[in-house]
Amino acid sequence: MNERRAFLKGAIVFFPAGGILSALAREAAGAESAGGPPGPAPAGQPNGKKAYNPADHLYGMGIEIDKCIGCNRCAVACKAENDVPDVPFYFRTWVERYTIARDAEVLVENISLGSRKETAQDVREVLRTFFVPKLCNHCANPPCVQVCPVKATFTTADGAVIVDDKRCIGCRYCIQACPYGARYLHPKTKTADKCTFCYHRVVKGLQPACVEVCPTQARVFGDLKSKASRLVRFTRMNKIHVLKPQLNTEPKVYYAQLDGEVR
């Protein structure tokens, strides 16, 4: 953990992602979680700036497939920022490598688990390869929220899907309901965990850690309610796809140049 933090020093401003996150998110959930008007603005707003109002925002992320080089810095940054367990198969975000062979076979590998060594035979038979970053899609119609028996998973007024680890009972219903495989049960807390769009950073006007460290700017984070948002320009200038559109979950993670083989 210390090595990863040293690696990221100077690139990311770290904020505690635990304790205060659920409180911030519950306040931002407003009517959706409490049945009333939005709660008070999160603490810690810079002096002289307008208080943060979650109802004024709607967050999403864009990913440009052609720009992703599979460096895995996003996954490393996410683990360091959010104290994701060191064990390789726990991720809030990860990168998959798709390999398309001449016989139309599709090989999908999670390179965040470690890279496979290629052989001359592999190279000769490959038509193309590309990388696809994945994470929680922060759906507008999230199945995980629907199945939670204690309402520990909820949607904030600004569009983030959050897990309240103080309320979660670890039943795993949300993990099973997520069609994107984006959730896991934290081995220490025994509660569900997933990407939060680095909500503790976003409410302070910062970018998510994965976006901050991407060397090719393959990830674009922004406010869908702002016409000046880079994300809005991204969706306007590219042919946009989402994962598993047939499920009608209405994801807020948008992909440009997404190959039809990606699931």
262: in domain: no
Residue span of the structural domain in which 95 resides: 2-256
pLDDT in tens, 125-135: 888 999 999 99
pLDDT of residue 49: 66
Q: How many CB atoms lie within 10 A of CB 38?
A: 20
In a domain, 263, yes or no: no
Q: Is residue 6 in some structural domain?
A: yes
pLDDT digits (tens, 9 = 90+) for 223-259: 999 999 999 999 999 999 999 999 999 999 999 999 8
CATH of the domain at 160: 3.30.70.20
- What does pTM read for this prediction? 0.81
Q: How confident is the model at residue 261 (pLDDT cuts 50, 70, 90)?
A: confident
In 3D space, the residue among 164, 101, 157, 146 whose CA is nearest the CA of residue 127 turns out to be: 101
Within a domain: residue 261?
Answer: no
Number of Cβ within 10 Å of residue 189's Cβ equals: 13
Cβ neighbour number for residue 51 with a 10 Å cutoff: 9
Residue 52 CA to residue 68 CA, distance in Å, equals 32
User: Has residue 23 got a pLDDT over 50?
Assistant: yes
Domain for residue 138, yes or no? Answer: yes
Greatest Cα pair distance in the chain: 62
* 38 in any annotated domain: yes
At residue 217's C-alpha, the angle toward residues 97 and 116, to 5°, is 20
Structurally, the chain folds into a number of domains equal to 1
